Amino acid sequence: MAGPITYRSYLRLDDLLACQTPLSQAHDELLFISIHQASEIWMKLCLHELRAARDHVASDVVSPALKMLSRVSRIQTQLIQSWEVLATMTPADYSTMRGSLGGSSGFQSDQYRQIEFLLGNKNAGMIEVHEGDDAIQAVLRRDLAAPSLYDETLRLLARRGLAIPADRLERDFTQPYAYSETVEAAWAAIYREPDRYWDLYELGEKLVDLEYHFQLWRFGHLKTVERVIGFKSGTGGTPGVPYLAKVIEQKFFPELLGVRVRL
């Protein structure tokens, strides 16, 4: 970087602020672009923190992972609030710019898919959405085949002497995780003696916090889409609101929700 470092040069604001380029004369297109670009930057940070947290859990170093997961939950709060800003766009506002979107859709966000894969919502079919982009597909295939944050958490529980079935420790990680009553019993043991298993108890709660905020994020997306376009199909060919409603039902860490009933 030539010359002294300034606020503008350090943040590369010339490059960053040149990225908001509306394709229509619609006043609200700048809002639409800004919200989605900002969300992608936040998701980049989420991925940075989630990958590091998973590595720490895999190395039995839980404390830094707790801080990183707390940070992701706070980032999710920012993402949730962004729907409030986007919801100021009225149906008439959106209709004046929708043609500029072509076939583009948030459904095509590879960073969002990476986050889902890291949290355990594995679906190989989602990689096909990025057909023609070999680099992105390679990243998604890597994340699809790798243990999720929850997979590494269960391995940690097993190393700490808790009864985790072998088929949950070594399995085909390209497949979505399936509920296990034995795993729920292991979490119940942790939750009944939090002082004995304090870092594992805290880790469990951080995971619940992640899922809680992720569901709020999905719900915010659903209600914003419903408010702006109603029950029209999405630009990427998805059914829109019905698809988003179905997605909300997906769970990342089923035993951590089920353990509350046990207690």
* Amino acid symbol at 245: A
For 41-82, the pLDDT digits (tens) are 999 999 999 999 999 999 999 999 999 999 999 999 999 999
Is 221 annotated in some ligand binding site? yes
Residue 1: pLDDT band by 50, 70, 90 thresholds? low
Q: Quote the pTM value.
A: 0.92
Which pLDDT value is given to residue 171? 94
The CA angle 226-231-237, to the nearest 5 degrees, is 105
How many helices (H) and strands (E) the chain has is answered by: 13, 0
Dihedral sign for Cα atoms in the order 98, 102, 108, 109: negative
Q: What is the torsion angle, in degrees rounded to the nearest 10, for the CA atoms of residue 192, residue 194, residue 197 and residue 203?
A: 110
Which pLDDT value is given to residue 231? 67
Between the CA of residue 123 and those of 77, 106, 117, 207, what are the distances in Å?
25, 17, 8, 20
Overall residue count recorded for the chain in this entry: 263
Q: Give the mean pLDDT of 247-256.
A: 86
CA distance 114 to 131: 16
For 102-137, the pLDDT digits (tens) are 988 888 999 999 999 999 999 999 999 999 999 999
Dihedral sign for Cα atoms in the order 178, 80, 43, 74: negative
Is 94 annotated in some ligand binding site? yes
For 78-111, the pLDDT digits (tens) are 999 999 999 999 999 999 999 999 988 888 999 9
Is 98 annotated in some ligand binding site? yes
For 194-216, the pLDDT digits (tens) are 999 999 999 999 999 999 999 99
Is 153 annotated in some ligand binding site? no
CA distance 140 to 123: 10
For 138-174, the pLDDT digits (tens) are 999 999 999 999 999 999 999 999 999 999 999 999 9
Which pLDDT value is given to residue 230? 78
